[in-house]
Structure 1
Amino acid sequence: MNRRQRALLIRSIVFLSVVNSLSLAFYFFLHPPTHPTPETLNSSVTTTSLKPWPFLPSFLPWNPSSKPPLRSCEAYFGNGFSRRIEAHGGGGWFRCFYSATLRSSICEGGRLRMDPSKIKMSVGGEGLKSVMGRREEEELPEFESGSFEVEGDGSDGSRAGGRVLDEEFLDRYVPQGAIHFHTMRGLMESMRFVEPGKLQCSQWIEEPTILVTRFEYANLFHTVTDWYSAYVSSRVTDLPNRPHLIFVDGHCKAPLEETWEALFTSVRYAKHFTGSVCFRHAILSPLGYETAMFKGLSESFICQGTTANNLKASPENHKTARLSEFGEMLRAAFGFPTDEISLKRPSTVHNILFVRREDYLAHPRHGGKLEPRLSNEPEVFTAIQNWAANHTKCSLNVVNGLFAHMSMKEQILAIYEASVVIGAHGAGLTHLVSARSKTIALEIISSQYQRPHFSLISQWKGLEYHAINLAGSYVRPEMVIDELSSIVRSLGC
């Protein structure tokens, strides 16, 4: 290679180097490198496919253009959370939706951090027998300052270490009411601001997550109010899919947890996280005590269950389809039909479900013995079996509803297939929430338990309801058979 060829080669190499450098510079100008932030250096991102919402025949939109009238059925059971209050904006955010009817709020926030080490409570989720005798105080959460944190940029007066919500805000939108220890309010009281970029997390949860604090987690009625509150919170905040759920309490694992797992995408306990957790979107569910289902026991309001189609055609403030919608949600969560025509059987075949009360171990402070509500329950059950076996016009199947020894899926299926539900006053009758619209309820009420729980649920669902009121706790079997005979005649039998 001569001198001229070498010079030409060198010039070519230099030219290509310059072009390559300019190309790289132009690329990085358009695509600047991303520098790791503390949250990406010190955390892993959790993403999981969320469960979709099922089709519910009774579903009505949860975000109406006009807010429902105060103390209307929609205000009690639907989207009465119509007053939106922005509590904080900026890097992180927090706001609440207040219901003047229920005197409660559904709140949500973004870039919210939970530090389980600052929440004083038992771990939760243990097997029942391993924690026998544990006190309730150990299971309910106590929140230290900073148990929860929200990123603030100072634009709205937020300062690091300052409270996100003051007492005036909480008194107005999360009032204590008659609840001795309001755990969700305690959670909000603990919330503090942190500076942008200082939200140190060992894990980020990217998808919407509902935070729930529970009280009577082993009692079906009270647990259904918690299920309903979490469901309403999901709808009011307009979640496109079913969220994750975290229990911010230290209760042990109970059989009713099966339904939580069916309703939501995933279920975890706060204390099961090994470090701090950050949420892109967290929703704080109100206490079950603040739902219409519970308030109906002490407040006087009239709501009659009807179909969603009737409400679409003629909206009425004293009618509702919300509890039917929720019952369909419970059925769908376990894979059962949400409509009423999928139960294919002859019109002359009917299930009579007798909801029984049996001894079982419910929680660490429970001795396993239930107080009988009907002193001669076995005698009544046998009498119903004999009567049904001799009935000639229809085939009557008497189902022994031993709910204490059945899975939740089995319990909800038994309710769905029942034409008649009969039982003494007890939490098991709360399952009427999942019953079909033509199911008939017969409650046997002893003198010591004259309470309106199940007549109200039947009313709110639009179910036909009958009651046998007793002077004590004994019922003559003939009285029950006479009432059942009248009911099955109305069924065409």
Structure 2
Amino acid sequence: MDPGKIVMSRGGEDLEKVMGRREEDELPKYETGAFQIEGGDGWERREDRRLVDQAFLDQYLKNGAARMHTMRSLVEPIRVVPTGKLQCDQVIDEPTLLVTRFEYANMFHTVTDWYSAYVSSRVTGLAGRPHLVFVDGHCKTQLEETWKSLFTSVRYAKEFAGTVCFRHAILSPLGYETAFFKGLNASFSCRGSAANMLRQKPDYRKTARLSEFGEMLLSSFDLLPIPKHEPHVLNILFVRREDYLAHPRHSGKVESRLSNELEVFDFVNAWAKMKNNIKCKLNVVNGLFAHMHMKEQLQAIRDASIVIGAHGAGLTHLVSAQTDTVVLEIDASVVIGANEAVLTHLASAKIGTNVLERIASKYGRPHFQLISMWKGLKYHAIILLGLYARPTEVTDELSKIVTSLGC
């Protein structure tokens, strides 16, 4: 890798120092030979030293709807050189993942990148945690600490002073290219299960991959083994949404999914205190993740009996939930997916539950319903046609869930 032939910002800066920087300045553009690979004998006589041809790119790295496919852009200019012709200012012997990110400050999109890196490590049979190099020019975010916990080392490509040679480099697929993300639009049925269950009784319709991934996250913060739930105590984790400064182009305002979130939280808290009895204790946890260390976030999700929250990136933590956790999503994503005319029509109509579910399937964003399915979690949803949730509707649904758990 020759960082001098990769055009992008340096990356890894403090966010406050690069406010106003454009996204196109952070995404890499490659000159011919930015990456080279040793090809053995015979290559010195070849005129075309491209690693792959156009047909390969069109088959395996399709542009699709993306205005810029950074993995295609990386692979296309790779050139093969004869044995002994690589110029190496530095050599890294251990396996190294090369990762390019897009939405690097958003929890959901970052988890797709973590998952992609995890799967890349699994399918290439790595025995331990690899090194990682960001081949992008993004600045630091609050998620940086987790990258460093997951991998042996984390560096930015532009940090290297000269050329660097890797004995074993792995190009990690873009987060958008993983089953984790593509499952939002593709139609495939795959339910989650524990790995030990599948070892005892293999079933191609089930997967333990997402559960293993969640355990890897927990393990990185020394949160394994998972303790048993305290008898007759149900932890209800309410995942909150907050404003945060995400990247240089960001105003610090997240898109609202629930206009009365605090009202709902306070109502749930009061309901839980009233519901407490000799048989069960309900403990409501205020999931203000933006103010919590990643270890605290993962511990909260690990220890939760019930996870409730409005549709938002914080619910991506469900990948680390226990298999008996129950999910209640307050889903206003249909408001984002449908156009104004559709919403106006729906608001004036009397709509039953079945119709709401069909509307959600057409216009909604099923991120967390799918994660729940791939994890094997029980999933419930309150589908909204606006941004206001009736607190009593939320506690009514919680009452049903609590009863189903024996309280």
TM-score, normalising length: structure 1: 0.74
Secondary structure (helix, strand or coil) at the match of 2:305 reads: strand
| Stretch of structure 1 that moved more, 158-167 or 313-322 | 158-167
Paired position in structure 2 for 1:239: 126
* 2:294 corresponds to 1:408: yes
Q: 1:353 aligns with which of 211, 223, 237?
A: 237
* 2:398 corresponds to 1:484: yes
Counterpart residue identity of residue 205, structure 2: H
Q: 2:76 aligns with which of 164, 189, 204?
A: 189
4+ residue stretches of structure 1 with deviation over 4 A? Answer: none
Map Cα deviations across residues 86-142 of structure 1 (whole Å, 9 max, x no partner): xxxxxxxxxxxxxxxxxxxxxxxxxxxx00010000000000111111000000000
Post-superposition shift, 1:315? 2.4
Paired position in structure 2 for 1:380: 264
The structure whose residues are more often helix, as a share, is 2
| Stretch of structure 1 that moved more, 235-244 or 446-455 | 446-455
Post-superposition shift, 1:157? 7.7
Distance change in 2, residues 1:282/1:182 (3 Å): same
Q: 1:366 aligns with which of 250, 260, 284?
A: 250
Paired position in structure 1 for 2:139: 252
Superposed, 1:200-349 pairs within 5 Å as 200-338=87-225, 342-349=226-233
Superposed, 1:462-477 pairs within 5 Å as 462-477=376-391
Question: How far, CA to CA, are the matches of 1:127 and 1:475 in structure 2?
Answer: 37
Question: How far, CA to CA, are the matches of 1:407 and 1:159 in structure 2?
Answer: 54
Map Cα deviations across residues 397-430 of structure 1 (whole Å, 9 max, x no partner): 1111111222222111110011110000001101
Question: How far, CA to CA, are the matches of 1:474 and 1:400 in structure 2?
Answer: 19
Paired position in structure 1 for 2:328: 442
Counterpart residue identity of residue 375, structure 2: K
Post-superposition shift, 1:310? 3.1
Question: How far, CA to CA, are the matches of 2:85 and 2:158 in structure 1?
Answer: 22
The structure whose residues are more often strand, as a share, is 1
Q: Which runs of 5+ in 2 are unaligned?
A: 337-363
Counterpart residue identity of residue 429, structure 1: L
Question: How far, CA to CA, are the matches of 2:200 and 2:40 in structure 1?
Answer: 49
Post-superposition shift, 1:160? 7.5
Superposed, 1:104-119 pairs within 5 Å as 114-119=1-6
Paired position in structure 1 for 2:311: 425
Question: How far, CA to CA, are the matches of 1:464 and 1:229 in structure 2?
Answer: 25
* Alignment RMSD (CA, Å): 1.5
* 2:81 corresponds to 1:167: no
Question: How far, CA to CA, are the matches of 1:139 and 1:354 in structure 2?
Answer: 35
Post-superposition shift, 1:344? 4.0
Question: How far, CA to CA, are the matches of 1:159 and 1:433 in structure 2?
Answer: 48
* Contact 2:15–2:139 under 8 Å retained in 1: yes
* Contact 1:160–1:194 under 8 Å retained in 2: no
Question: How far, CA to CA, are the matches of 1:175 and 1:158 in structure 2?
Answer: 30
Distance change in 2, residues 1:232/1:189 (3 Å): same
* Contact 1:139–1:250 under 8 Å retained in 2: yes
* Contact 1:159–1:194 under 8 Å retained in 2: no
Post-superposition shift, 1:283? 0.5
Greater Rg by CA:
1
Secondary structure (helix, strand or coil) at the match of 1:413 reads: helix
Post-superposition shift, 1:471? 2.4
Percentage of pairs with the same residue: 66
Question: How far, CA to CA, are the matches of 1:251 and 1:405 in structure 2?
Answer: 22
Counterpart residue identity of residue 269, structure 1: Y
Paired position in structure 1 for 2:340: none
Post-superposition shift, 1:158? 6.7
Post-superposition shift, 1:312? 2.4
Q: Which runs of 5+ in 1 are unaligned?
A: 1-113
Question: How far, CA to CA, are the matches of 1:151 and 1:293 in structure 2?
Answer: 33
* Contact 1:148–1:191 under 8 Å retained in 2: yes
Post-superposition shift, 1:345? 4.6
Post-superposition shift, 1:351? 1.1
Question: How far, CA to CA, are the matches of 2:56 and 2:44 in structure 1?
Answer: 15
Map Cα deviations across residues 14-60 of structure 1 (whole Å, 9 max, x no partner): xxxxxxxxxxxxxxxxxxxxxxxxxxxxxxxxxxxxxxxxxxxxxxx
Question: How far, CA to CA, are the matches of 1:152 and 1:467 in structure 2?
Answer: 54
* Contact 2:331–2:382 under 8 Å retained in 1: yes
Question: How far, CA to CA, are the matches of 1:430 and 1:344 in structure 2?
Answer: 22
TM-score, normalising length: structure 2: 0.89
Distance change in 2, residues 1:471/1:263 (3 Å): same
* Contact 1:304–1:320 under 8 Å retained in 2: yes
Post-superposition shift, 1:200? 1.5
